[in-house]
Amino acid sequence: MSLPEATMGWSCAACGGELEIMKIGFSYMKGNFEVDLPACRGCGLVLVSEELATGRMADAERILEDK
């Protein structure tokens, strides 16, 4: 299942707006990253899945901290 299909029909918990895939900027330890994630265009709330947070993002965090 692709990311857009997984979030179809989801709405924002804060304002009720529909989530759309958007480029989201992250900063961590002087590094800047852009990732396509479901977010609310109305209020800016971003959905970060548990899989992403405990998988790829945690791996990137460990790599940056080891440098």
Report the pLDDT value the prediction gives residue 1, as an integer from 0 to 100: 40
Please give the tally of structural domains in the chain: 1
How many Cα neighbours within 13 Å face the side chain of 7?
19
Which residue numbers in the chain have pLDDT < 70?
1-8, 57, 64, 67
Could you tell me the CATH number of the domain that includes residue 31? 3.10.20
Residue 12 CB coordination number (10 Å): 19
Task: Look up the pTM and report it.
Answer: 0.67
Q: How far is CA 41 from CA 11, 32, 44, in A?
A: 11, 21, 6
Question: Which pLDDT value is given to residue 48?
Answer: 86
Provide the residue range defining the domain that includes 36.
Answer: 3-66
Q: What is the per-residue pLDDT for 33?
A: 81
> Which pLDDT score is estimated for 9?
80
